[in-house]
Amino acid sequence: MASTGGRAPASRSSGSSGQLGSGGRRGDGNIGGGGGGGGGAAMDASGSAPPLEVNGGPPSKTAAKLSKMLPEGCSPGVIGECDYDSTSADYYFNSYAHFGMYVAWVGRGGGSEQMLKDRTRTLAYMRAIMENPHLFAGKTVLDVGCGTGVLSMFACKAGAKKVYAVECSKIVDQAREIVKRNHYDDVIEIIEGKMEEVPLPEPVDIIISEWMGYFLFYESMLDSVLYARDKWLTPGGLIFPDKATLYVCAIEDAVYKKDKIDFWENVYGFDMSCIKNLALTEPLVDEVDAEQVMSDIVPVLQVDVATVTKEQLCFAVPFTLTAARTDFVHAIVSFFDVSFTHCHKPVVLSTGPYTHATHWKQTVLYLDRALAMDVGETMSGTLACRPNAKNPRDLDVAASYTFSGRNGTFSNLLRYRLR
């Protein structure tokens, strides 16, 4: 597949405030079936899960929320606005096309080696495809962003009659060699180019793609998948995966935040807090230890890849988080599940803190202050997101919160840029 990010957003290289022990990351990555990785979705008073915004909700409702949360031309800001003159425009394809990235990038947050070594991710796709030959046998398959071609080869093993593997970067040269070495060159046709620009010889029965990015949507290929769906997928055709759910929770993260963020307030006696302001506006992509999670985990957005439109990928959705223990809240964390619901035994790939780590990790949005929450107290807010106007591969993200508890009443609207 094509990389989920031309470069990785900010990340921390070592652990967080808690050590991972017997109560840490749990489960088997949810690659077999059953529930997602939310780790306990919030329930309303009736005992039912609250309704999710599906595909972003009604366009008019979403537009009104977005205009308030992320007005046109707004700058990111958590403890003061930051000026962003540059974006990551043109970086994605130019850097990704270089083959050396596939080896070197593993230490910097991306690349094919990292993704192939992500067993949770790769085994989920392998099981979804290879354990369902009744869906693939004799079918024509399109792999959007094929990268090294591993998903295309899974489809061949499942009995696909023909696989069109589309990739825009020069990794296609290696993909062709890999396909040939594994004797699938009579079934898999590697096509170099952007999905929106290449013609296919025929419609397809199934689309497979590892389109997800950090925060689900950062530098994702979902737009390309939707284009392929509308232009090339036969009526009744299948998409793998076909569902995605975005979750949020609250975490305690005092040790790391003090060491890496508050550090800029006094650097050898000098005030460098302008860098702190900038650092806070860039969401952190890193593994969150399960012990840090101090609230329930709430699903806020559900995407049906079979029906969602590009316009609905801009969203503003409400959330309410309830403290599971008395502690401080330093950040809101987001992660996602994707589901392969057409499988005989549904397969779920989770990127949450209670499952095996994936290369997507989790996305951390630091607050402007630490909130002292008692067990049972709640924090409500809205999470909003849309592509940046200058570079659609960057994401403008906003989070509002309101908290009123024993230790005070606080509210704010915080804006970030994932770039």
3-class secondary structure, 109: coil
- Other C-beta atoms lying within 10 Å of the C-beta of residue 79: 16
Which bin fits 80, alpha (ψ -120 to 50), beta or left (φ > 0)? left
Could you tell me if 316 and 63 are in contact, meaning their C-beta atoms sit under 8 angstroms apart? no
Joined tokens for residue 247:
């979750």
Token pair belonging to 362: 């989790």
Give CA–CA dist 147/382, Å, rounded. Answer: 36
Count Cβ atoms below 10 Å from residue 213 Cβ, excluding itself.
Answer: 22
CA distance 294 to 27: 19
Amino acid present at 279: A
| Other CB atoms within 10 Å distance of the CB of residue 390 | 12
| Spatial CA neighbour of 323 closest among 384, 257, 372 | 372
Q: Which of 81, 113, 189, 210 is catalytic?
A: 210
Residue 280: alpha-carbon gap to chain centroid:
19
Rounded to an integer, what distance in angstroms lies between the CA atom of residue 160 and that of residue 71? 47
Sequence-ordered list of residues with C-beta below 8 angstroms from that of 34, at least 6 positions apart, any chain: 346, 348
From 167, 219, 287, 291, active-site residue: 219
Helix H segments across 137-251? 150-157, 171-181, 222-232
210 is catalytic: yes
412, 400 contact by CB (below 8 A): yes
Place of tokens 């049906």: 304
The 10 Å CB-count burial string (b at 16+, else e) for 5-34 is: bbbbbbebeeebbbebeeeebebebbbeee
Query: What is the DSSP code (8-state) at residue 333?
Result: E
197 flagged as catalytic: no
Catalytic residue annotation = 210, 219
